[in-house]
Amino acid sequence: MIMKLTIRQFKLLQYINDFPDMTLDDYSRALEISIPTLKSDIKNMEDLLKKYKIILQVLGKNNLQICGKENLTHLLIDSKNRIEFSLDEQILLLLILSDDFIVLQDIADKLFVSKSKIEKLMPDLLKTYSNDLQSLRHYGIRCISPEAEKRALFAKLLSAYFKGIDLCREVEDFNTKHFPILDYISKDSVLIANNVIKIIQDNKDFSFTDESACQLFLCFLLMIDNYKKHKDKTVSSIFTNIIKELPNATIYLKVARDIATLLNLDKNYNEICYICYMLMSLRKQNVFDVDAIVNQMQDIIYKILENIEYRLSIDLSQDMELVKNLSLHIYATVLRKDMLKPANLDCQWNELGYQYPVSFEMAVIASSIIKEYYQYDVSRNEMIYLTLHFQVAIERLKTEEQKIRAIVICHYGMAAATLISTKINSLFGVIKIIGCYSMHDFLNLNKHDYDLILSTEKIEHSKIPVIYVSPAVRENELEQILKYINNKNVSNTLRLIIMESMVLNYKKAKNIDEILSSGIKALIDAKLVEPEYLNSVLEREKISPTDIGCFAVPHGNPNFVNKTKLLIICVDEGVQWNKSIVKYIFLFAVSKEDFNKNFTPLTIFYKKLMKLNLNLEKIDNTNDMIFKNNLLELLNI
């Protein structure tokens, strides 16, 4: 029997992978659980960990010894489909799959739990999904989402458990391990949906990422099954109106008609346009109409790149690969908006914004331009995808000619695969990435002219060496590829910046504006920054807050910085930021000249800072010099 992991256990493994030097006290605070519960979770995972040659041993003073930490990424990748399908998710899925009201006792009976458990969860569910669920006294609860939203919600719930390799088997696995979905959806519908995906994957004009193929499959699965039971349950005309306005929809509309014919929906034009919309808006590996899209998007793309050059002094306008990839991504993002519900990115993805601060800053700039052009607020998830594209461009600047042939297999799409590729190329002069593939494309490769596979997904029975990596390409993953030495020059520069930093201590502060205004005033008085710098920092925080646990990393426009300076603000009682009580503020004011010349110290500083988090609270800040030395020791500089 395959061991399931609770979401908490999975998060614990992610914390251990990301912050291996933390103690049990740190992990318990981060997960908001007691240390005995934490120890119990570690004990319950022992058998699973042994299979991956990982041993977690609790030492004195609640320290944790990790043996086999280089295998943690492999375990996390394999364990995605082990994560339990929580009871609230089961309730929501049951309501989506049911045709009418269900009373609480029936929900409990169908899910084999007590009614009291359902009663405990239901208020939060009704609040979270207030637009999707309806509760009426004497009737029960039902799903009232419009058909398109219902399909999108269904896909969001299930997508984490699907890889897109063998969809029929993956449905069976989900049915066996998590929820009896085949009690509600027929196997015939599964086969039809699978055949539709095969037709789409055989299409030569465009191809989807594995993630998008899974989302298509799940939306089609619910659509097919519902239409067989209720011919009147179809989408509204909203998609028909959208498709009418798109000049390059012809090829997609033809494929949509073929799919609709296969599904006996050829007379339902609203559904044809819904299928067309799905085909056009989901992320792809490649598209036939790339030139038309690039031409259509050129105004906004060059506006974004102009703003990036002005704000950050980095000229990316000649990177045609970036122009193409940004055009395709933003086109699909704006078309998709909030009408589809992709699965939430896990914490490994969310921290990419902090791991690549310069690229994330570019994504923030791009997001503000997108809002200006399309009146659309870009989500945090989409900002992370934009960050990937910009980081690829930055890494591309450092790429050198390589020798060892390697391929990258990535479930998340070409942006993530290319980021891994260019990151590895820039760090290891002996490696040459010769291709990036989805799992579907990899399994259909005829030639095997490579020496190494770098994969985010489990690969069965490979004769070629496989190294498992994540999009963030963590330190322990790099150790698996090659031992390398940190750039001492960067460390020395960063050490000097920290030792010369300005440290300000406050007992308390009313709000963000007050503490930042007070701190930046000290920089203005020292003529290190111009008065306009304060407003640029405050405006930047409004777009995307920079708090991470007990610390924040605000920053502003380099154009208003006269001389690079690190400002550290310590607030004894903390100040409410976005989601956190922040006690330490690290404001790295980098001049335009330094930023343009070399921003590596900034990136290294943020990466090292990310590994500290809760350990920062242990630093003694009663003396500035002691504080700085302790910080250097914690940062390992």
pLDDT in tens, 320-366: 889 998 998 898 888 776 666 555 545 455 566 667 777 888 999 99
Q: Is the pTM of this model over 0.75?
A: no
Contact criterion met (CB below 8 Å) for 195 and 220: no
Weakly modelled stretches of the chain, pLDDT under 50: 345, 347, 398-402, 483-489
What residues does each domain of the chain span? 7-82, 145-283, 289-377, 398-481, 488-635
Residues 6 or more apart in contact with residue 357 via CB below 8 angstroms? 553, 555, 602, 603, 606
CATH topology of domain 7-82: Arc Repressor Mutant, subunit A (1.10.10)
Phi and psi for 482 in degrees, rounded to 5? -165, 145
Q: What angle do CA 324, 327, 328 make, to 5 degrees?
A: 90
pLDDT in tens, 392-425: 888 775 443 346 788 999 888 888 888 899 888 8
Contact criterion met (CB below 8 Å) for 553 and 567: no
Nearest to 349 by CA among 327, 382, 325: 382
Q: CB atoms < 10 A from the CB of 621, how many? A: 19
Q: What pLDDT is attached to residue 400?
A: 38
How do strand 206-208 and strand 140-143 relate by DSSP bridges? unpaired
Task: Provide the percentage of residues in the chain whose pLDDT is more than 90.
Answer: 36
Nearest to 436 by CA among 363, 160, 162, 450: 450
**Sign, Cα dihedral of 461, 164, 412, 11:** negative
**DSSP annotation string for 73-127:** HHHHHHGGGGB---HHHHHHHHHHH-SS-B-HHHHHHHHTS-HHHHHHHHHHHHH
Beta strands in 298-416 (DSSP E): 404-409
Which residue type does 280 have?
M
Nearest to 371 by CA among 341, 339, 337: 337
Q: What pLDDT is attached to residue 190?
A: 95
For the domain 398-481, what is the CATH superfamily, name and number?
Response regulator (3.40.50.2300)
Alpha-carbon distance of 294 to 292, in angstroms, equals 6
Any long-range contacts for 268-273 (C-beta under 8 Å, 24+ apart)? 268/234, 269/240, 270/234, 270/235, 270/236, 270/237, 270/239, 270/240, 271/223, 271/227, 271/234, 271/235, 273/239, 273/240, 273/242, 273/243
Contact criterion met (CB below 8 Å) for 419 and 395: yes
CATH topology of domain 488-635: Mannitol-specific EII; Chain A (3.40.930)
Q: What pLDDT is attached to residue 306?
A: 92
pLDDT in tens, 533-576: 999 999 999 888 888 888 899 989 999 999 899 999 999 888 99
